[in-house]
């Protein structure tokens, strides 16, 4: 049986190479336009980074399990755990986004409020259906 | 709002450190008992490794997006893409498992067949519910 | 293999009996406190009722398929279609809720805004994980 | 078992027309071609019917909640419960299908075994992605 490919249209970024640390956004060069981002203003940034590093470690652990030819069911259990961890990150980011970006836009009102609400709804639909 | 933690009971392996290459399972030390694993016997091993390396790259890309304070919705779009890629790997592994391990156990019959079917059903339920 | 029961704690209302029509909420007895509900103020009420009647018909169709002992895979295809229809209803209700109830609470500000945002996030998490 | 008649005005679901009662499969006239269906041979038929009647009742309860203009979040909670109940039915049917139809095909071997495994994998993918 062939391995199913990801559904067509799924964006798969080529992000296998990490930029040198010196090019990472540091505290000194944060654009002011980003100040309202939920995960930043709520000081959750370090927490998300920690969780994503653990998820990256789970991806490496899965490769090791395949290389060492571990039992399929044990690999599937790890995939389920990793999927749950990813979902938790997504739900946390969505919470922060609603609490900050969307709430700010709604308070200001007008077209931006409507646009932000529509955008959030689409992101929720992608999460529910993925 | 607080960041939701993974549901209790979710196994989160500490696999952040990759063992030195020399310790990886090579062709010379594959236990013979593993020979029947679906993803191995169907030569899908290299394909799974390639896809998991890309997923690992996506996890790194997400960290970079958080570090650079990208827009929440764009991050969520990447999380959905990564979740879909993980699901495809899981469905592929499950296919291989049914086609090889489970089918072999069923052909042999007896308690092992029943056990393998029960185990596969539980793995499917975890995938559907995660 | 035993049939898995719904996960513990899942509320399963006993709503098999429809109240006499005379007891249904009519235009004359709509509590004014409900006037701000999203699905009502956006005139989507009739649309949701139409979609839920179709979903009810799908549940009856599934019973008929079981009674007539149709092929398992065909029944599963209908279950997937019904699940997708339910998800669409949920996403629509959530959109309306964000656009109306939550947006109104955010505009008013204070504790109610925070509470509504938290409540919405929990509902989203239930949808994503169910 | 008697299926409650749809209320007037209920749209006809997409399923086939119900045969006259005399043609319903009773204990005495089960077609032999159906004998291998998992949910039948494992005597789970009555259980599935009971659960689907409850799901049908949940669909009616949701309509009543919309008609009575209940709070959006309470409706969403019921939708999540109904989705979970549907998923449990799907997982049960899939278990029975693997244990009986697929296992029988695998034991017989040949093209039918491969076809049944492929068909089951596709049904699992639909469940995971819906």
Q: Is A73 or C22 the better-scoring residue by pLDDT?
A: A73
B37 found inside a domain: no
Which CATH number belongs to the domain containing residue B68 in this structure? Answer: 1.20.58.1000
pLDDT tens, position by position, B50-92: 999 999 999 999 999 999 999 999 999 999 999 999 999 999 9
pLDDT tens, position by position, D37-53: 667 666 789 999 999 99
Cα separation, B93 vs B95, whole angstroms: 5
| Cα angle D93-A83-A121, degrees, rounded to a multiple of 5 | 90
**Residue A42, pLDDT score:** 61
Within 8 A of C93 by CB-CB distance, chain D residues are 72, 75-76, 79
DSSP C49-104: HHHHHHHHHHHHHHHHHHHTT--HHHHHHHHHHHHHHHHHHHHHHHHHHIIIIIHH
Domain count, chain C: 1
User: Nearest CA of chain C to the CA of D108: how many Å?
Assistant: 19
Cα-based distances in Å from B80 to A26, A89, B28, B62, C10: 27, 11, 38, 11, 26
* Contact state of D127 with B129 under an 8 Å Cβ cutoff: no
- Interface confidence, given as ipTM, is 0.73
Cα separation, A25 vs A45, whole angstroms: 12
pLDDT tens, position by position, B15-34: 433 333 333 333 433 333 34
The residue among B3, B4, B111, B123 with the most chain C CBs within 10 A of its CB, best to mutate, is B4
Cα separation, C21 vs C19, whole angstroms: 6
D52 found inside a domain: yes
Backbone φ and ψ of D11, nearest 5°: -65, 145
Cα separation, A20 vs C66, whole angstroms: 60
| Cα angle C18-C23-C29, degrees, rounded to a multiple of 5 | 135
Cα separation, B83 vs B116, whole angstroms: 27
A14 found inside a domain: no
Alpha helices in chain B (DSSP H): 38-41, 45-67, 72-97, 103-108, 110-129
Tokens of B99: 């086609």
Domain of D81 in residue numbering reads as 42-129
**Overall average pLDDT of the C65-74 stretch:** 94
B7 found inside a domain: no
pLDDT tens, position by position, A50-65: 999 999 999 999 999 9
**Residue C26, pLDDT score:** 38
Tokens of A20: 């040198």
B55 found inside a domain: yes
C neighbours by CB contacts (3+ pairs under 8 Å): A, B, D
B11 found inside a domain: no
The helix/strand/coil state of C22 is: helix
Residue C18 · residue D60 · CB < 8 Å? yes
pLDDT tens, position by position, B29-61: 333 334 456 666 667 899 999 999 999 999 999
D116 found inside a domain: yes
D69 found inside a domain: yes
Digit-by-digit pLDDT tens for chain A (130 residues) are 344 444 444 444 444 333 333 333 334 333 333 445 667 666 789 999 999 999 999 999 999 999 999 999 999 999 999 999 999 999 999 999 999 999 999 999 989 999 999 999 999 999 998 8
Chain C residue whose CA is closest to D7? C53
**Residue B129, pLDDT score:** 87
User: Nearest CA of chain D to the CA of A115: how many Å?
Assistant: 22
């Amino acid at each position: 049986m062939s391995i199913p490919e990801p559904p067509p249209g799924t964006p798969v970024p080529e992000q296998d190479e990490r930029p040198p640390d010196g090019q990472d956004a540091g505290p000194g060069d944060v654009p002011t336009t980003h100040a309202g981002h939920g995960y930043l203003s709520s000081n959750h940034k370090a927490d998300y980074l920690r969780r994503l590093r653990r998820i990256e470690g789970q991806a490496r652990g899965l490769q090791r399990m395949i290389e060492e030819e571990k039992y399929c069911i044990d690999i599937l259990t790890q995939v389920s755990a990793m999927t749950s961890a990813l979902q938790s990150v997504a739900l946390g980011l969505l919470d922060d986004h609603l609490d900050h970006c969307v709430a700010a836009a709604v308070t200001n009102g007008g077209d931006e409020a409507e646009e932000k609400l529509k955008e959030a709804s689409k992101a929720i639909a992608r999460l529910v259906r993925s």
